[in-house]
Amino acid sequence: MLHTTYRLIRKFSKGDPDILCRRNQSSSSRVSGLDQYKPIILEQLALNAEIKGIYKLLVERGYTGKLSYFYEYCKKVVKNNNIDHHTNANILGVKRKNGKPKGHIIERHRILKYLWSKFNIPSPDISFILEKYPFVKEMQDCISDFRNIYVNKSVTLLEEFVEKYFKSSNKNLKSFANGIIRDFVAVKNSIISDYSNGFLEGNNNRLKMIKRTMYGRAGLDLLRAKIIY
């Protein structure tokens, strides 16, 4: 009936009329629930504390607002008080200013290329990555160990590989080891045998590609004619 919202009604029923009825006032002049904590916020920002850490501190003292609103409030406080506070840090731990990192970034695809084919990345960067992220070193060892199995054509190395990575804390490597255990005979034969099913799989892939290009009209007679053609 009133063509308004419950939120607006609650706002005017509980808010301060003197503040709500002011005109031509900027939003910055309005009273915020965080104003009572402003001295603490200013002190923590001056100490270059993380905004999320300040938020947790205020929650312990009774603040019930949302983190997203708190972030916006802190940005305004930093801007209005000219506080030198860096809210972001890059993966190297180097603080950012104006959104630009002082350090440099190594893309994930370059790290994957390094692990798979020794893509050229400066050795200090690789040393830092392997030290900060131990699971990358474990992936590097896994790739190297698996390649050595086929280079040496050793079933013993395969058994040692499965035993080692079956106990890994990395769920992806553990899943890989489990897959080998399920198809152990097939994997073992791929190591010790000179035969390959590559020719069969290649033709199978070619057949499926032809079926897809026929858009459901791949009856047996027509498909046979298409393949022979």
What CA dihedral angle connects 218, 222, 227 and 229, to 10 degrees? -140
Is residue 173 in some structural domain? yes
Are 160 and 137 members of one domain? yes
End-to-end alpha carbon distance in the chain: 74
Is residue 38 in some structural domain? yes
Are 118 and 74 members of one domain? no
pLDDT digit of tens for each residue in the chain (229 aa)?
777 888 778 777 877 777 666 654 444 455 677 888 888 888 888 887 888 888 988 888 888 888 888 888 888 888 888 887 765 444 444 445 555 555 677 888 888 888 888 888 888 888 888 888 888 999 999 999 999 999 999 999 999 999 999 989 889 999 999 999 999 999 999 999 888 888 999 999 999 898 888 887 778 888 888 888 8
Helices (H), the chain: 6-14, 17-20, 38-46, 51-60, 67-80, 108-117, 123-132, 134-152, 155-166, 171-182, 184-192, 198-213, 220-228
Non-local CB neighbours of 20 within 8 Å, separated by 6+ positions: 11, 12
Is residue 212 in some structural domain? yes
Between CA 58 and CA 53 the distance in angstroms is: 9
Whole-number pLDDT of residue 28? 47
**Which two structure tokens, joined as six digits, stand for 22?**
């002011």
Q: Inter-axis angle of helices 134-152 and 123-132, to 10 degrees?
A: 110
Is residue 89 in some structural domain? no
pTM score, two decimals? 0.47
CA separation, residue 92 to residues 47, 89, 95 (Å) = 21, 8, 9
Between CA 105 and CA 89 the distance in angstroms is: 12
Are 188 and 210 members of one domain? no
**Which two structure tokens, joined as six digits, stand for 174?**
């553990």
Question: Strand pairing of 100-101 and 96-97?
Answer: antiparallel
Between CA 149 and CA 155 the distance in angstroms is: 7
Is residue 92 in some structural domain? no
Domain hosting 217: range is 198-228
Are 136 and 182 members of one domain? yes
Are 38 and 76 members of one domain? yes
Whole-number pLDDT of residue 142? 94
Is residue 101 in some structural domain? no
Is residue 179 in some structural domain? yes
Is residue 42 in some structural domain? yes
Q: In the chain, how many domains are there?
A: 3
Between CA 68 and CA 101 the distance in angstroms is: 23
Are 113 and 155 members of one domain? yes
